[in-house]
Structures are given as C-alpha cells and as structure tokens.
A and B are shown apart, each in its own frame.
Chain A
Amino acid sequence: MRRTSSDGGQSQDKFQHAAFLLTHRSSARSSRSSISVGGGRKRRKSRCPDQALRRAVRVLDVNGNDVTPLPLHRSEPGDVTSQPDRRLLDELFSDTESDPVKSSSSFCGTSGSSLLGSSGIFDGPSLTNDSEHSIARLDTSINPPIRGEVQWKRDNVKQHVTEEKQHVTEEKQHVTEEKQHVTEEKQHVTEEKQHVTEEKQHVTEEKQHVTEEKQHVTEEKQHVTEEKQHVTEEKQHVTEEMLAEGLDTCLSETDTISTLDILSIFMSEDADDAEALNERNVKYAELCKNRLDSGEYRYVERPMQTFNGALKDKQTQTDKMALVDEGATASVWDIYDSFCNQNKTPSGEEDVYPETTMNTSKGQEQRAWQSSNCSSFSTASTICSKIEMEMCEDSFNDYELELIMSSESFQYSLLVMERSIVANIFQTRVAAYRQLPAMEDPDSTVKPGAEERNEDGEESSSSPTLEHVLTLSCKLTRGCNITTMALHKKNPDILAVGYGDFESKNQKPSLVCCWCLKNPTWPERVFNCHSCVTSLDFSADHPNQLAVGMHAGTVAIYDVSQYNVTCIADSSDCFKKHVKPVWQVNWIKPAMTLSGEDMDAVVSVSEDGRMSKWSHSSNRFDCSDLMNLGKKYAKIKKTKQVLPLAVTSVFCVDFHPTDSNTYVVGTSEGPIHKGCVSNNLNFLDTYQHSLPVNHIEWSPFSSDVFLSCSSARIIHLWRKDLFTPLLSFTSTQMAVDAVKWSPNCSTIFAARNEEQVEIWDLNLSTMHPTIVHHAAAGVKVKSLLFTRGTDCVLVGDTDGQVTVYRIKNLRVGGDKQVDSLDDIINSAASSHI
C-alpha cells in the first residue's frame, strides 16, 4: 500500500497525507541519522545478538529496492544502554522492514508525531530528492550536535507548516469544504503542534535513544571487540589444536631495492678524454696508495654496516649437450686379425711406424670392407642402385676381372667348383665307384620307371660281371689310342693316362693326361710329349713325379704338381740314353746304394736290351746299366715287323714288392730272368719260357709268386724257386697283352687282350676266367689297371676312353688272402711234381 503524492485521495486524506508527508519528511530528515542507525542496529541486535556484526543486513522496501541503511555512527565506549527501551523500539521497528508504509501508518496511528520512529524506513518513491539529500547528509559528521539538528529540523518543519498554512488560506477561497479544510487544517496544525511538541518529546526521547544507541554502539563495539577476541581466541584455539597442520604462505618478490649503484664508465682509448681519464685513474691509484702510507691521519677507518643481501640460489640452464652413442662390435676374428697384423711387424720402431699404420689401416680397411659390406649392403635396393651405377664402368671392370681371373686362388676356386658341379652330376656313379650306397635325390625329377628298369636289368644277372661305372673321356682324348695307364701311389683317385699311337707310321706327339676320378669330364693335367708314350709310372717318394717312357727311347720325369707340368729330367741329352723304345719305366726304391742316396730311381727297360737305372742328380740325368741283355742275343722284336737284330729286347720288368733288389725281367725271346740289382752281370735264375713275355708281375700278396703272360695266349703262374710254371691259364686265341694282379684279393688277377678283359679268380676256377668282358664294338682294349681300394677295373681302349668297371657279384676273399693263394699254389705244386 502506497501513499503517493498529496494530489490524490480525499481531502482529509490529503491533508493527512500532506501532513504525513511533511512530518514524514521532516522526521525522516531529522531523525534519520540517529534512529535509523539505531533501529537498524537494534533490529539486528534483537534478532540475533550473537551474529557477527559484519554480516550485511539488507533492507528492502516493497518494490525490492535496496534501502539498506549505511552505518554512520561509531559507537563510543562508555555508552550505557538500557534494554527494555530497546525492546520497545525494536518491536516498534520490527515491522518496518516488511511493510514500511504500514508501519509508518501504524506508527502514525499510535502517535501522530511519532513519525520520527518510522523514519527508519525510507519510503522510496516519496523520498526522491529528499532521500538522496538525506543520504548525502548521512555521510556527513557522525556525531553532529543533535540538538542543533533537531532544532533546525524543527525550524524546517515550522517552515513547512507555514507553507501548508498558506496553502490552507489559499484554499479558504473555496467553498465551505475549504473552511472545513481550514478548520481541519487548524486541527491539523494543532495536531501538528501537538506533533511538534510530541516531536520535542520524541527528540528528547531520541536523545535518550541516541545515548542509548551510543551505549548500544559501544556495546556493539565491545561485542565487536569481544567477538574479535573471540575470533582471536578462536584463532588461538585453532592454532593450538592444529599445530601440525601447515599453513600456506605465499611469498612474493618485492622489487629490488638498490641502495647504491654506480656504474663504471668505459671509454675507448682513442677517445679524446681518454688521456684525462687515465690521469685521473692514475691519480686515484696514487691516492689509494698514499692513503695507506702517509695519509693515515687524513683518513679514518670507520666500519660501516651494509645490508647483507639475502642469498639466493640461482639456477641457470645451458644448452643440452648432444650425446652421441658410439659403439663398435669387435668380433672374435676381428681381434685375432688385428693381433696378427700387429705381430707382422715386430721389430724396428721408427721405420715400422708408417708400416704398422699402413698395416693397421689396411687391416682397418679390410675390416671396414667386411663390416661396411655387412652394413652398407643391408638392403637389396641399395645394392641395385649402386651396382647399376657400377656396371657402367666397363673398362674398370674388365681390368678388375682380369686381375681376379689371373689369380691362383681363382683357379683353385674354379677347380673346386668344377669338381662340385661334376660331383652333383655324377653323384650316383661316383658313389658306385667308391662302393658307397647311392643316395636318392629327394628333389630329383627322374621318373621312377626308368630306375626300375635299370634295377631289373641289373638284378637279372647275378653272376659275376663287370659293371660300367664311369668313363673318363674328353674331347681332347677322343679318338686317341691309350697306351698306358698308371695310378698315383698316394692318391688312388689320380690316374695318368698316356695317349699315343706308336704303331702308326706318322709319329705325332702324344698326350699324357692326369685324370682325377672325381672329375670324369676333364683331365686335371694335360701335357704333351714329343714322342709316343709307352710307359708311365708315378714315383712313390715324390708323388708328384711321373716317369714317362717314350717310344723314341726317351725317359723323362715330369712334375705334375702344378697345372703347368714341368719336365724335371729328360734323357734326351744323356749319352747313354736308350735309342730304342722304352717299354717300361719303374720307380724303385734302392735298398742300399753305395752313394747312400735314399731316393727312388727310375729303371727303364728298353728294346735295346738294356735295363738302366736313371738317377737324377744336380741337373744330370744319368743312367747306369743294371743289366745288358743286348749283347748276347739277337732276337726278334716284339713288333709285328721282323727286324734282324741281334739284340734281345726287354719288354717288362718287375721288382720284388718287398725286396727291391731282386727283379724279374721278361725278354722277347722267352726266358724270364731273375736278377739282382747289385749284380749286373749275371742273372740269378732263369725261368724257362719260350715265347716273348709281354708282362710280368709279382703277386702283391705272396712274395714267391709272379705271373707272366706272353703272346702264346698263356698266362703262367710261377713260383720263384720253380723254374717251370706252376700254373698255366689259357683262355683265348689271342695273345695276352697284360696281366695284373688284383691288389684287393690275392686270388684274382686280370688279363687282357685286344678283344676282352678277363678276370680270373683262382678260388673259383683255374681253368676258366670268372668274368669275361668283351670290349665295346669298334674299340680294342689297350690298357688295364686295377684300382686300389675299390673293386674296380680301369680299361683303356683305342677310342681314348678309360672306362671304370666295377666287379660285381664276385665274392672277395676274407682275411686269409695269402693263405688261400698259398693253398692253391701248394696244391698246384704238389700236383705239379
């Protein structure tokens, strides 16, 4: 409910209203300062005396405008308060907050002039400028002389009243209502007077109130202080309770306070003032010096305290140091290599240093080469790019290629490679040759049907036979006639084959090839001889040396260790050389010689009937005749041609396997002589034989027995003490060209003629050969050899092929090899005589 301006409403109301307004205003003006404060305070106090004073209490009118009274009065200590009065006033003022107008009206109702009390309320719209003015006034002196103010306010009220009276007199002009109004006004005036008097009373009351309020304020102050103490007590209470808890304190840096800062001045020496400055500096230095010495009285030392600045840790930050991990791997061989390279130059210090550095650098290069090759070629793509670049440099590559290919190690690598390749190809056959079980290649694409057929064919013949294993042939040797073969003494895989044709008219230079059975496609060594080779023999002491006997009568020794075969000795220049074909060369180990030499020598037998021993010493290849048969006899040569000569040619000789002093020679006329090296004049024994002996051989198992074969198609088995053959074997119609004992079995020997190869096993039969193997069509068997270690036979033919045959299904005797042969011989001997 609001009372607006004095224009509206009834006249009474109006008057009342106006009066109310007036008084209200005046009262508001007059007593605002004091009562409002007190009221507000009292109000607060009545409601919640324990609350902190700092709590803001807001006063709002009906419209919601904030009309909170601002604190103006400071309570002074010593103010005495009276409670009951306060309570009355509180009750009076308690409603003012909710409905200021109502309370004011009620206040008006209670006491007309007690508008002062209601002045605690600021009626918002009614107090426009006045309120502002009053508020402004509130800020002024806190303890104004109250009386003066009240008086002034009373004066103002009086002024207002007079103004109202004027208004009333003006309104007297109106009708009787105005008179009534006047009378009413008069009444109002009287009422106002009463009000004024009441106001006076109220003022006095207010004074009391003020004093009370002062007491209140002081009380409040005390309360405040009490509360403060309470708070501080609470604070102390808190700190005592919670000593362990930490308090967060915030430190902030104050500005740096410089107490003294005199910067030094730097001047260039070229400046104009430099000299003056220097002089000053000098003077100052002198002054300092003088101060100590003479000017002591001028200067008094006096301590002075300066601020010790607080020390402070200051941290700086530097650039991060770049760390690089570096590592090297030293493998075992790397360490070993560098150790070896270091040891290569042991002596000499200064001279060696550059060498060592070179070596180490070389070693480093090697290692770097190895390691860089490991690391730099880590991806194939990099290799591709690099290699494609490099492939363009042809000339450099060619030069490098030549370097590589001319190196020895490359040739050796080629050799090994070729053998590996060939071994891959001939794996089964070489395994058969070596009598190893042939492993089937699990990845091979050969049809199993073909293998079965082979197996069937093989299984059908269970009788002893020669099985073809390998063929040593190459384009070099194709078509050449094989004349002789010899196996290496130390390495049973190496075979020397002599190719040549001495029966034809045109004597073309012949070929000697050293084959390795590991590579049947190409010989390892190839060399030519100027004349047709008739005999070959490997040395036992010097495994590299190959003695060659030629058709021209030359005896030569070749060294086949290197790829380029060199001729160590040649008898061409010898005075006592053979001029007739040398039919056999043998290396013998001299049992005892006068000169004490322990080397084996070549013994050659030639068609001129001489058997000479050749010795190679100090570039001289000389021979000494062991036996000369030529003088005595003049016989027909072995060749088909019949030449009238009075020389007995010696075709073959064989030295005793254990006693190298004795030998047996087979001559062209028939008798077999047993001779002794030491005795070169006479034979020891002579065995009767009628036909030319082609080949003679001691048995490797039994030292008393030797075999001989002749053109008479008969093979004789002799015992050295019997001058007639012990056993004779005949098989074919053709002359037996050679007979060889088997090194593996004592009772087996092989015989060959131009058509076939016969293997005789004396255990099985002495009448017939056990195996007869016919040569292939168109070729003739020219050479025969047993292999050592395996049950194979080497057959050389006229086509230049050396065929390796395996003796199959032939039961080889057990341990009693010698005994078996001896039994046979003994039985034969017993039956002989």
Chain B
Amino acid sequence: MAEVEETLKRIQGQNGVQGIIIVNSEGIPVKTTLDNPSTVQYAGLIHQLVMKARSTIRDIDPQNDLTFLRIRSKKNEIMIAPDKDYFLIVIQNPSD
C-alpha cells in the first residue's frame, strides 16, 4: 500500500504530468489530483471511450482484451490503464 502511494507520488512528480484520476467500476472518480469539474468530465468521457474501445477489441476477438489506451492529442497525452474494477487515467504533457 505504501509503495502504491509512493508510486503515485512519483508519477505525479514526473515531468509534464498534469493529473491523475482513479475511477472505480461505476465511473465515479475515487482519487484525483485535478479539480472537481475537470475530474468529473474526464471520468465520464473516458469511461465511455474505454467501453467502446474494449467492446471493439473484444468484438474482433473475444479472447482478447484491452490492456492500455493512449490518446495523443496536440496539447497532451491521456493514458488510460483500464481494468475490471477501475480505470487509471494520467494526463501528461510530454513536451516539457
């Protein structure tokens, strides 16, 4: 547990990381480093996207599953580690 906290702190301290959101299985953020409205927005939108992505992967091959999702945009990169019980979302600006 302590290592997890440490790791989260390390990630937060990495170059260019703008925020970390942990979302539970229902789509409700349980831990975040961003402000509330942004968190809510990210959680809701990304949840849908991940559902769609996972559905896509599994439709192609039901034995396959989504393990990681990276969305690279002009301004930043959103990395999502999805799981059955949670989503881990990190927003980073890698050009720093």
- Chain A residues close to B by CB (< 8 Å): 331-333, 335-337, 369-370, 373-374, 377-378, 380, 383-384, 386-388, 390-391, 397, 400-407, 409-411, 413-418, 420-422, 424-425, 427, 441, 443-446, 521-522, 563
Contact = CB atoms under 8 A, between A and B. Distances in A.
Given A332-B59, A424-B94, A425-B15, A407 B26 contact: no
Given A414-B88, A422-B14, A521-B10, A444 B95 contact: yes
Interface string B54-75: 0100111011000110100011
Given A417-B11, A421-B90, A424-B94, A374 B59 contact: no
Given A383-B40, A410-B83, A417-B88, A405 B4 contact: yes
Given A424-B92, A427-B94, A406 B15 contact: no
Interface in B15-35: 15-17, 22, 24-31
The 5 closest A-B pairs by CB, nearest first: A333-B58, A336-B62, A383-B44, A413-B81, A424-B94
Contacts of A387: 27-29, 40, 43-44
Contacts of A415: 7
A337 B65 CA distance: 12
Contacts of A402: 1
Contact of A414 (B4, B68, B74): B4
Given A425-B14, A445-B95, A521-B10, A417 B4 contact: no
Nearest to A442: B74
B22 to A, nearest CB: 6
Nearest to B29: A387
Contacts, number: 148
B74 A443 contact: yes
A414 B11 contact: yes
Contacts of B37: 384
Chain B interface size, as a band, is: 35 or more
Contacts of A373: 26-27, 47, 51
Contacts of A380: 41, 44-45
Contacts of B51: 370, 373-374
A706 to B, nearest CB: 43
Given A374-B48, A405-B22, 7 more contacts: A370-B55, A388-B36, A401-B30, A417-B88, A421-B17, A424-B92, A441-B95
B8 A414 contact: yes
A463 to B, nearest CB: 33
Contacts of A427: 94
Contacts of A336: 58, 62-63
Given A373-B27, A443-B95, A521-B10, A383 B43 contact: yes
For B8, B28, B47, B51, the residue with the greatest tally of chain A CB atoms inside 10 Å of its CB is B28
Nearest to B58: A333
A563 B3 CA distance: 10
Nearest to B32: A391
Given A333-B58, A404-B30, A411 B41 contact: no
Given A390-B28, A404-B30, A416 B68 contact: yes
B20 to A, nearest CB: 9
A402 B5 CA distance: 11
A380 B42 CA distance: 10
A416 B81 CA distance: 8
Contacts of B79: 417, 420-421
Given A370-B51, A414-B11, A406 B62 contact: no
B47 A377 contact: yes
A335 B62 CA distance: 9
Given A402-B1, A424-B77, A377 B48 contact: yes
A332 B65 CA distance: 13
B36 A413 contact: no
A331 B59 contact: yes
B36 A391 contact: yes
A424 B92 CA distance: 9
A331 B81 contact: no
Given A380-B44, A400-B30, A417-B90, A424 B16 contact: yes
Nearest to B50: A373
B63 A522 contact: no
A397 B88 contact: no
Contacts of B60: 332
Nearest to B62: A336
B95 A418 contact: no
A445 B16 CA distance: 13
Nearest to A396: B30
A387 B37 CA distance: 10
B11 A418 contact: yes
B70 A420 contact: yes
Contacts of A400: 24, 30
B30 to A, nearest CB: 4
B58 A332 contact: yes
Contacts of A405: 1, 4-5, 22
A441 B94 contact: yes
B59 A333 contact: yes
